[in-house]
Amino acid sequence: MAEKLDYRELGLKVGLELHQQLATTHKLFCGCPAELALEDEAEDRFIRKLRPTRSELGEIDPAALFEWKKGRKYIYDAPINHSCLVEADEEPPHPLNREALLVTLGFALSLGSKPVNEVYTMRKIVIDGSNTSGFQRTALVALGGSIEVEGKNIGIQTVVLEEDASRKLGEKDLVTNYKLDRLGIPLIEVATAPDIQSPEEARNVAYHLGLLFRLTGKVRRGIGTIRQDINVSINGGAITEIKGVQTLELIPKAVEMEALRQYRLLKLKALLEERHLVYSNAITEIHDLTRVFTGTKSKIVSRTLKKGGKVLGIALRGMKGIPGFELTPGRRFGTELADYARFWSGVGGLFHSDELPAYGITEQEVEKVYTVLGLDKEQDAFILVADEEEKAAKALKAVVDRIKQAFKGVPEETRQCLPDGTTRFLRPRPGSARMYPETDIPPTPITIHLLKEAERFKPPHPSVLVKQLSDNYGINRQLALQLVRSPYLDIYTLLAEKYRGKLTGTWIASVFTNIIPMLRGEGVPVDQIPESALKEIIDMVAKGEVGKEAVEEVLRKIAEKPDRHPREIVEELGLTGLSEDDVRKIVIETIEENMNAVKERGERSFGLVMGKVMAKVRGRFDGKKIAEIVREELSKYSPRGI
Ligand SMILES: [Zn+2]
């Protein structure tokens, strides 16, 4: 089913929301350090039950109410050096961190965003206990602007300063455990307009926004310090918000998978129409099918029945093949139904007729279900849930609701990104009535004085960057410009700095502007090469453990199998282990083998000897150094040397 989609024709629209932690001296609303606690730091612990709060309009978020009704409890670990009474919600927040505001303003100015006149801190309701107060504090700092990526302007909607949430450590049954160190670390949130039109473009925009963040010089680095959410829609689909996209590399994959999912859901809708199905006729009431499974061999089912549970089911008339309809690789419409069932009732899962017999449920039992429900095996489908009666019924109600939405097309959802780029239902998209003013914090007027001060954190313009790179690492302007436009500027700067004096800036640049693009041109999946592997192979070159000539081959192999270690590949290719002495031996040996030519032509036989040595050494030693050794050894045979 690997359909190649034409994103223009599909009307793909993508907007990004990036969250970057700031490395300010303290948190956004208290004096605690803006960093994570040490592993062994002493901590207090307290338990809370959060109540859903009404918004100003008197509405209660249905999802919040649902969580509360379930009776969920939250355990908070409070590290003594990285949290205080503010994080515990026992003390009002302190005034907004001025440094964080300045960095956010500087960032906003570089995008041409227009700062607001006064910054108001608002409360945004959160329902998962990640904020002890039950809301996240957030402040709009600037509106509008744009970022140019590969010649195209991508609109910026908002630049916001907000507090990060607590770290989730674990979850079991109705208890969730959080650590408070991350709560209150300042975050810049930047949201783009839905101007992005392809998976690759989404990656590039995220990269360039990430680069601007880093150029403020005030951001935290490392895993989890930048988080990206993606909004995706196609023509006739709906806006899906994808959360938890951990790496840059995953962005294009997640966009691709979501476009495919929406495209397939529209196909599913067309299929339902083609079969002339009407929702109200197609789905039956909930039936108790427990009797069918008396003495069943299915472990899952018999365990439920032993505990006094039931097997409930619904018939789906005319829907054979619908639950088994594939949306993204490995995820079927039935998987979506199961996600809804899990979310709204807490059951472990469901069975659908397209996947049965399986899980110990036999052919005979399937036949019996068809008979009891009065269904036609060739045309109809059914869904079963085995659990406590009330839970199972609730799960099937959620399934029915989700099927109803399939008749309309794509539901608006918030989804969780999985490691392979596919997504899973997380919750319905929140309504808009979720923010109200934070009365504990006075507004901050944006004065000319403040704006002037913010200039200090404003990331440099690309042309300034080009000059800096060229001056710092001795590379020409053209190469510097290529680097600024490439997704590798960051890692380049890091490596050029680290190996200053060992490797030239120009050679390191050539890995990113020459070798990688060349491999990409050959169709090698270079985006899969992990940053760690790039660092490792260049480190090996710097240490003389492998020749520069080997880099291309090693990267090609890693792109194909990104979980492999460069060292492993170097060894496998037989590219390791040559010392300068080894190389000198090979050179002398080669000269001896070609003594006639050497005696005749002296140093003019350099090309001949060099070619033969290179063929023997094959990337196991640096070519430039080999040339030096060849010259040295040859000079001993030159007429003057004899
Ligand atoms: Zn604190």
Which pLDDT tens digit goes with each residue over 44-92?
Answer: 999 988 776 665 555 666 666 666 777 789 999 999 999 999 999 999 9
Range of the domain at 526: 462-572
**Residue 78 CA, ligand 1 centroid: distance in Å:** 10
For 238, the token pair is: 């709906």
Question: Percentage of the chain with pLDDT > 70?
Answer: 95
Q: How far is ligand 1, taken at its centre, from the CA of residue 185, in Å?
A: 9
Report the amino acid identity of residue 572: E
Tell me, in angstroms, the distance from the centre of ligand 1 to residue 55's CA.
26
The residue among 174 and 94 whose pLDDT is bigger is 94
- Is residue 245 pLDDT above 70, yes or no? yes
Structural domain contains residue 622: yes
Other beta carbons within 10 angstroms of residue 8's beta carbon come to 9
**Is the confidence at residue 627, as pLDDT, over 80?**
yes
How far out from the chain centre does Cα 415 lie? 13
Q: What percent of the chain has pLDDT over 90?
A: 65
**b/e map of 335-364 (b: 16 or more CB within 10 Å)?**
bbbbbbbbbbbebebbbbbbebeeeebeee
Pairing of strands 43-48, 73-79: antiparallel
Tens of pLDDT, residues 503-515: 999 999 999 999 9
For the ranges 180-184, 226-230, 482-486, which has the lowest average pLDDT?
482-486
| Position 389 in a domain | yes
- Give yes or no: residues 311 and 244 share one domain: no
266 plus 300 within the same structural domain: no
590 and 481 belong to one structural domain: no
Identify the pLDDT of residue 35: 93
Measured in Å, residue 131 CA sits from the centre of ligand 1 at 13
Q: How far is the CA of 548 from the centre of ligand 1 (A)?
A: 50
Residues 611, 518 share a domain: no
Residue 611 placed within a domain: yes
User: What is the structure's pLDDT at 428?
Assistant: 83
Tell me how far the alpha carbon of residue 87 lies from the centroid of ligand 1, in angstroms.
5
pTM of the model: 0.77
DSSP state letters, 321-376:
TSTT-EEETTEEHHHHHHHHHHHHH-----EEGGG-S-TT--HHHHHHHHHHTT--
pLDDT in tens, 314-329: 999 999 999 999 999 9
pLDDT of residue 211: 86
Q: How far is the CA of 567 from the centre of ligand 1 (A)?
A: 44
pLDDT of residue 279: 83
Q: By the 8 A CB rule, do 105 and 114 touch?
A: no
Return the pLDDT at 582: 85
* 29 C-alpha to ligand 1 centroid (Å): 7
Per-residue pLDDT of 326-369, as tens digits, reads: 999 999 999 999 999 998 888 999 999 999 999 999 999 999 99
pLDDT of residue 151: 86
Same-domain check for residues 266 and 347: no
Q: Do residue 552 and residue 610 come from a single domain? A: no
**Residue 29 or 617, more confident:** 29
Domain end call among 527, 554, 572: 572
Q: Does the pLDDT value for residue 495 go beyond 90?
A: yes
Within 8 A by CB and 6+ apart from 343, the residues are 398, 425, 426, 427
Query: Does 80 share its domain with 18?
Result: yes
pLDDT-based confidence at 1, cuts 50/70/90?
A: very low
Cα(96) to centroid(ligand 1), Å: 13
Q: 343 and 383 share a domain?
A: yes
CA dihedral 494, 579, 641, 631 (to 10 degrees): -40
Q: d(Cα 76, Cα 445) in Å, to the nearest integer?
A: 35
For residue 408, the SS3 value is: coil
Q: How far is the CA of 381 from the centre of ligand 1 (A)?
A: 55
Mean pLDDT along residues 124-144? 91
Q: What is the pLDDT of residue 603?
A: 77
Give the residue, 520 or 197, on which the prediction is more confident. Answer: 197
CATH number at residue 292: 3.30.1360.30
- Centre of ligand 1 from the C-alpha of residue 132, in Å: 12
> Average pLDDT of the chain?
90
Neighbours of 168 (CB within 10 A): 14
Q: Which residues touch 408 (CB under 8 Å, ≥6 apart)?
A: 269
End of a domain among 272, 297, 320?
Answer: 272
Output the CA 77–ligand 1 centroid distance in Å. Answer: 13
Tell whether 265 and 307 lie within a shared domain.
no
Indicate whether 478 and 359 sit together in one domain. Answer: no
In a domain, 445, yes or no: no
Residue 161 CA to ligand 1 centre (angstroms): 17
**Integer Cα distance of 496 and 503 in angstroms:** 8
Asked if pLDDT for residue 198 goes beyond 60, the answer is: yes
Mean pLDDT score, 420-446: 85
Q: Residue 84 C-alpha to ligand 1 middle, in angstroms?
A: 4
Position 642 confidence tier, pLDDT thresholds 50, 70, 90? very low
Query: Which pair of structure tokens corresponds to residue 212?
Result: 């601007």
Residue 636 clears pLDDT 60, i.e. is over it: yes
Same domain, 625 and 605: yes
Q: What is the pLDDT of residue 641?
A: 44
Query: What is the CA 599 to chain-centroid distance, rounded?
Result: 63
Give the pLDDT of residue 267. Answer: 97
CA dihedral 100, 104, 107, 109 (to 10 degrees): -130
Assess if residue 218 is contained within a domain.
yes
Instruction: Tell me, in angstroms, the distance from the centre of ligand 1 to residue 74's CA.
Output: 19
Look up tokens 């291309």; give the residue.
552
Whether 20 is in a domain gets the answer yes
CATH number of the domain enclosing 593: 1.10.10
Split at pLDDT 50, 70, 90, the class of 174 is confident
What total number of domains does the chain contain? 4
Same domain, 78 and 144: yes
65 C-alpha to center of ligand 1: Å?
A: 28
With respect to residue 185, please indicate whether it lies within any of the assigned structural domains: yes
Residue 615 within any structural domain of the chain: yes
Q: Which of 230, 250, 272 is the last residue of a domain?
A: 272
C-alpha 496/C-alpha 483 separation (Å) is 12
